[in-house]
Structure 1
Amino acid sequence: MKTVSEQPDSELLTAGRRSRTAVITAVLCLTGTVVSLLQTMVVPLIPEFPAIFGVSQDDGSWLITITLLTGAVGTPIISRLADMFGKRRMLLISLTTMIVGSLVAVLGGNFTAALIGRGLQGLSVALVPVGISILRDELPRAKVAAATALMSATLGIGSALGLPLSGFLDMHFGWQSAFWVPAAVGIVMFAAVVLIVPESPVRTPSRFDYFGALLLSGALSVLLTGITKGGAWGWTSGPTLLLFLASALLFAVWIPYELRVDCPLVDLRTSARRPVLLTNIASAFVGFAMYANMLLTTQQLQMPLIAGHGFGMTVFAAGVAMVPSGLAMVLFSPLSAAITTRFGPRVTLITGALVMAGAYVARVLLTGSVGWIIAGAALVSIGTAITYASMPMLIMRSVPVTETAAANGLNSLLRSVGTSTSSAFVAAVLTTMTIGHGPVAQLPSLGAFEAVYWTAALVSVLAAGVALCIPRKAARAEPGAVDP
């Protein structure tokens, strides 16, 4: 029986645990926001980079492409290393690559240095799946859903806020600020992780699969290069087809090798389990639909008035118009956690995908004013927040606790494939369906935007359909697979 003097101590202990949970969640979510910020901060500067560095427009676009490539290649590798050698350790290494990459890009003074710096920045994308894994290890079970929802939402929050921030910084401090700011914030977050985030005791001692990592890196690099550059080079051109063929051959070697090796980079048998496989397929569809929203909204708002369906907004103003989308993700991430707690992550994923589908149908119909476009983009972001929060929960309840980071890393990789495909598809449609207006060059027609909206709605429905096929209860083939 507790005495009166013991009761305050118990309450203080509970309050301390709550405070620790909140602080760890806040630090990890801030690191995720910083990473997603740097992914989009250079997007408004792409038209300026050819003049800054004296390169062609196509070469300048590699400052976006290289980040997609290194992020896709680095995420499964860093996530696997996190399971093996410590999640906090790999979190700090990822932050270090972001800081060093930012400094290299801004201090190098030439295009090669900027390209190397952006490549190093891309490696920090692994922070999000590794951070989610830390939340599973360190937080009380009842808090994992809400914290994971917020951590997942940082991907959209940072992307939405990065556009106006970049425009503001470029306007007042020059293009170099797009690299100085991530470096400075990265240093602050590095110190915060060192001081606050504990090292997870959950490890998977094994040998690292170097050959598997090499094969997967090559396969992903040529695949994503083909996807991102296919529009500029021609989808049926020799280089594009050669890249797709090379990717298919490398995957054909990698898959049987991973099934045969004792300590694979990616446990394909675990990944082939129905809940994990279907969640990853849905993730690719959701990534496609999410990225279309960001790409189309800013382009439609910046379209010249002479097009008849544009609003002539500046890069900065169009970026500011995306802020409500980012805020919507923050506000609705608790809703996704509540749905997950009440009905499970499968229902959450279905709900979010259907919200995205409905929002895209609304976007086809509501294009007559800036307000309607902003509202439509925010609705898509609400659906995105709900879906993004559910996918890590579906993954983590279906894999051993020792493979959490690697499994989340693969899920993040599939979303990256979806976003890259979305970028290529949007570019192809907007450059194909055009209209001419006197002295103005060919501009994307309203039908082009509507076609992408309808496609994104269809892809969202497909994501919901795939989610319907996910088993209601996870199959726990491994004793370590604990429901978070």
Structure 2
Amino acid sequence: MRSRLGGSLVCTALLAAVIGSVGAPLITAVATGMGVSLDAAQWTLTIPLFTGAIAGPLLGRLGSGPYRRVTILITLAVVVFGGLLTVLPLPFWVLLVGRGLQGFGVAGGALLMSVARAHLPPERAASTIGALSVASTVGIGVGYPLISFVDQVAGLRAAYGLGFVLSAAALGIAWRALPVEEPGELPRVDTVGAVLLALGTSGVLLVVAEPEVWASPWWVGCVLAGAAVVLAGWVAVELRVPAPLVDLRVLGQGPVLRANAALLVAGVGLYLLFSLFTRFVQTPAGVDYGFALPGVAAGAALIPFSVLGFVAGKSLPSLIARVGERGAYALSTAIAVAAALLFAAANQSLVVVLAAIALLGFAVGGISAVMPRLVLAGVPQGETASVLSINQISRSIGFSMGSALAGLLLAAGGAPLPPEHDYVLAALWALPALAASALVVTANRTTATRDARPADRRQ
């Protein structure tokens, strides 16, 4: 059973990642096929981000012990139902509901990691958790060209139908592979904490995921202030209730806190570059830059991203053995910096841009693979899913901020098609975020070394 469990978990996570990538290649098709604006169609990509971030901590608490298998299966069943809603020829709002339900699949990744940590030997658990984290990177490169091809050949609903079929396959694999947990009491859920966290997170995500609202500073300030008040209330509740949704005392430990901060900041830089690269290669003909790649070809341009992300995940154990976990993280951020500089220096060549995309994939894969090791340092096994779900929120907010920042920087000049140097300047904006993320991790190492010395002397 254990020999197949790791592979089954990774396969389930990969399928979920492909399902999560369904929205991005279909935004234009949704707008034209369903008669809605591009801004409205963008919500087919945004709303799964909201539901995944909001549902993550709740699912993490429900799946923290004896009900882990049941929680994962119900979560995947919700994703299947959401996929069905996207296939049926129903109004646009039903499609949004379906996409929102599919966002639960993103939230389920933390539960799959907790299964690996609980049921696999330590070394296999660490490598499997890393592979589960990298699956999201590989899934993008698989999903984009595949979904684009199906949309081009068979239409919008068929493309969403592929997501439905994949979600059903993920549910079948999980049903057969997930181990039965030891019986125990139903975990207590802090309902008030769950509602407060959902409201606060939604406020933050609304601002960072929808840059159009930035045109009104007063509105942005009100939303962020309201979110801050709600999240402060959530912290107060979590510190007092006997069974908190998230154990903030664990989450506030130095290594966990710094790992989450590093991922949030790195996410801004990584997704800024990802958004720039994918948009650059699709720049239509008639300007003196870009390559006018159509949907399928633009999706295929992400294959190097996934391949190098997979390579990063596979090479991580040997890399950690040589330079340590924090060294591997710092090296991954340095490779992302190299991708940005390569793009800025020679973006007239498609080969060079594809090389930059590949380097970015390696960086994202390396950071994704090493992050669970950093964030789970010293975390009790029972808090695995809960802590990883908060890490997922950090990642989602960082990615949303990076995507929004890319749009803001490219739209700053007011032209429908920004000049080439705007892409170069936007890519350079990623460098401070990546450097800051690496510094946070380096500070983590310094603090850990300093804290370890008194213990060493006592021994």
TM-score, normalised via structure 1 length? 0.88
**Aligned equivalent of 1:394:** 374
Pair 1:333-2:309 in alignment: no
Structure 2 counterpart of 1:312, which letter? Answer: A
Deviation at 1:103? 0.3
**Aligned equivalent of 1:252:** 232
1:264-308: CA deviation from partner (whole Å, max 9, x where unpaired): 111111111100000000111222233223322221111123221
User: Is this contact kept in 2: 1:204–1:402, CA < 8 A?
Assistant: no
Larger radius of gyration: 1
1:146-185 correspondence to structure 2 within 5 Å: 146-185=127-166
2:85 aligned to 91, 104, 112, which one?
Answer: 104
Structure 1 counterpart of 2:298, which letter? Answer: A
Q: Distance in 2 between matches of 1:39 and 1:290?
A: 18
Q: Distance in 2 between matches of 1:94 and 1:250?
A: 27
Which segment is superposed worse, 236-245 or 293-302? 236-245
Root-mean-square deviation (CA), in Å? Answer: 2.1
Closer, same or farther in 2 for the Cα pair 1:203/1:379, shift >3 Å? farther
2:444 aligned to 455, 470, 475, which one?
Answer: 470
Closer, same or farther in 2 for the Cα pair 1:191/1:419, shift >3 Å? same
Which segment is superposed worse, 154-163 or 290-299? 290-299
Which SS does the other structure have where 2:244 is aligned?
coil
**Aligned equivalent of 1:217:** 198
1:286-325 correspondence to structure 2 within 5 Å: 286-325=266-305
User: Is this contact kept in 1: 2:140–2:302, CA < 8 A?
Assistant: no
Q: Distance in 2 between matches of 1:357 and 1:445?
A: 22
**Aligned equivalent of 2:99:** 118
1:355 aligned to 322, 335, 353, which one?
Answer: 335
Which segment is superposed worse, 340-349 or 59-68? 340-349
Q: Distance in 1 between matches of 2:183 and 2:271?
A: 34
Closer, same or farther in 2 for the Cα pair 1:395/1:233, shift >3 Å? closer
**Aligned residues with identical type, % of pairs:** 27
User: Is this contact kept in 2: 1:224–1:420, CA < 8 A?
Assistant: yes
Q: Distance in 1 between matches of 2:204 and 2:65?
A: 27
**Aligned equivalent of 1:457:** 431
Structure 1 counterpart of 2:175, which letter? Answer: V
Q: Distance in 2 between matches of 1:170 and 1:112?
A: 20
Closer, same or farther in 2 for the Cα pair 1:205/1:117, shift >3 Å? closer
Deviation at 1:238? 4.3
Pair 1:197-2:178 in alignment: yes
User: Is this contact kept in 1: 2:326–2:441, CA < 8 A?
Assistant: yes
Q: Distance in 1 between matches of 2:75 and 2:271?
A: 24
**Aligned equivalent of 2:38:** 57
Q: Distance in 2 between matches of 1:324 and 1:278?
A: 30
**Aligned equivalent of 2:405:** 425
1:374-400: CA deviation from partner (whole Å, max 9, x where unpaired): 100111111111111111112222211
Closer, same or farther in 2 for the Cα pair 1:99/1:221, shift >3 Å? same
Q: Distance in 1 between matches of 2:449 and 2:117?
A: 19
User: Is this contact kept in 2: 1:336–1:385, CA < 8 A?
Assistant: no
Q: Which runs of 5+ in 2 are unaligned?
A: 453-459
Deviation at 1:202? 9.7
Pair 1:45-2:22 in alignment: no
**Aligned equivalent of 1:17:** none
Structure 1 counterpart of 2:196, which letter? Answer: L
Q: Distance in 1 between matches of 2:186 and 2:326?
A: 32
Q: Distance in 1 between matches of 2:449 and 2:375?
A: 12
Deviation at 1:40? 2.1
Q: Which runs of 5+ in 1 are unaligned?
A: 1-19, 436-441, 477-484
Q: Distance in 2 between matches of 1:203 and 1:390?
A: 32
Closer, same or farther in 2 for the Cα pair 1:332/1:316, shift >3 Å? same
Structure 2 counterpart of 1:106, which letter? Answer: V
Pair 1:373-2:353 in alignment: yes
Q: Distance in 1 between matches of 2:35 and 2:289?
A: 34
Q: Distance in 1 between matches of 2:115 and 2:185?
A: 14
1:163-189: CA deviation from partner (whole Å, max 9, x where unpaired): 111210001111112221122122222
TM-score, normalised via structure 2 length? 0.93
Q: Distance in 2 between matches of 1:202 and 1:318?
A: 49
Which SS does the other structure have where 1:41 is aligned?
coil
Q: Distance in 1 between matches of 2:178 and 2:449?
A: 31
User: Is this contact kept in 2: 1:149–1:385, CA < 8 A?
Assistant: no
Closer, same or farther in 2 for the Cα pair 1:202/1:462, shift >3 Å? farther
User: Is this contact kept in 1: 2:83–2:167, CA < 8 A?
Assistant: no
User: Is this contact kept in 1: 2:342–2:352, CA < 8 A?
Assistant: no
User: Is this contact kept in 2: 1:329–1:382, CA < 8 A?
Assistant: yes
**Aligned equivalent of 2:116:** 135
User: Is this contact kept in 2: 1:164–1:318, CA < 8 A?
Assistant: yes
Deviation at 1:335? 1.3
User: Is this contact kept in 2: 1:203–1:402, CA < 8 A?
Assistant: no
